[in-house]
A and B are shown apart, each in its own frame.
Chain A
């Protein structure tokens, strides 16, 4: 039986002037990084005026600059392979706003999904891969924006280790010299969801549909806010500053209702290794700990995510729930995809929901989006491409 709650908005839009930050005594890694730069130990990729930064508060009230322009897109393996509407929606917004960026082939995976799944790497390998990709952004004069939450968590961790351990810096510097690169570290490690968060009011100006009847539930990614938690955005106007603000912030800015549910803090069940090799654990977790509470407690119309693995795990593992008699279903998409839908992006060509498994059509119909027309146009476009037609791109490689 569904649980009825009187206040389905939960804590999402509760405001507070009080931020509790007692307890932890951590040093701000940002200050230490600048000290190393002053000593000539490392080069720092600074956020400049041309990056049009917007400041946000992190867990302990420290300031974090989020660059909004002149971005180097550090793509995600799972998003590009499996959820293509994720990066496309982000680029679509940047085009709408006339912002500059580069998306190119000269990028490798962060390799951290593999590491957390299999253990087949080590801090030197992970840090060297991180610095290699950071340096590519540096030599182009751009600031890197990381699409994947595991990349974000891993790179925050690698930055901290590189700042704290000279031996690791020396070893990574040696490897960088071997491949013709230098030891550089970004001033801040920035996740795309932080870009969406600080741009939420600009994004909301592009809104085409009324979302006031849409109930969203947010699934925050563990590697966004549990790995190096002090470097994640909190806002006293969202959850009263008691939970991370990203993703909830954009849903509220777009006018959707954001409902609370009892397992908000739980992970998605991805488990890195488990999603591929112990899937019964992942799918049980998805249904029992996330989807059923979202639907039964919050009557959710859409589950909003901020990461690759979470989006895949929560979307793909609902169908099999029917074998257990579970009838609860809710479409899953990233914050930026939900925002793109709300702002009139094409369901098929931009948001690319056709790759998703759980039915998203009822959500579109509730919002008022004509997905059937979009599907017809997309199918005709596919036929054109099969006949040798040219793709209409959002972006072309720099000449």
Chain B
């Protein structure tokens, strides 16, 4: 990697073009990026636009420009500001989906293991672990006061006598503490096969190799059970 006088990495223009071509070849591209009148209704309704330097109109205009340099400027933190609420897609008069094309760009960022994606997703690893290893995205025992101090003192309710409180929920599937519901091992094994075949495990390996190793240990245990 080359660096400029400020220590910022110099990314070859050919690589930026490769990223743009990868996005453009995606089968969803034509559906998400259509004509754009630059009306800005998407940005006017965009929730994160109120709190971040982020505009779905800019996303669309950059994609429409077909300029790899402009598209590359969004691959760092910009695309990660989106809430994925799809307000933009619903209100766009031309049926564009800025939220949709952002999902495509995020997929590229994680598939290629960009440093920016690794940094953004580092605090997200607990959810990734829970989902890919067990088939649920969160569990009651993840709601701990030390992780959610800003949720107030009552959040400690889930931290005491959790097993009994879960047992008191009148649905047998929910009477566990380490999963949202008690996922059957055969369902987990099918999920692993899907992740293998669809390349999901490979994506996780690219974005967080250490986490990938932990997940694979659990997967091996469940598969051999």
Contact = CB atoms under 8 A, between A and B. Distances in A.
Interface stretch (A137-145, A211-219, A377-385): A377-385
Contact of B191 (A78, A79, A129, A266): A129
Contacts of A381: 168
Contacts of A261: none
A117 interface: yes
Nearest to B190: A179
A167 B47 CA distance: 34
Contacts of A227: 86, 89
B140 A81 contact: yes
Contacts of A61: none
A204 interface: no
Contacts, number: 256
A317 B151 contact: yes
Contacts of A302: none
Contacts of B136: 77, 80-81, 108-109
B90 A349 contact: no
Interface residues of A, number: 94
Given A105-B173, A125-B198, A119 B103 contact: yes
Interface stretch (A32-40, A42-50, A248-256, A390-398): A390-398
Interface stretch (A3-11, A282-290, A334-342): A282-290
27 contacts: A81-B136, A82-B138, A84-B174, A103-B171, A106-B184, A108-B183, A108-B187, A109-B137, A109-B180, A111-B131, A113-B137, A114-B127, A114-B137, A119-B107, A121-B107, A121-B198, A174-B197, A222-B87, A266-B47, A273-B80, A273-B121, A276-B124, A289-B47, A319-B153, A385-B164, A391-B170, A391-B172
Given A349-B170, A378-B168, 17 more contacts: A88-B174, A106-B187, A107-B181, A118-B121, A120-B203, A122-B107, A125-B199, A128-B197, A174-B197, A175-B194, A226-B85, A226-B86, A265-B87, A272-B83, A272-B84, A355-B157, A394-B171
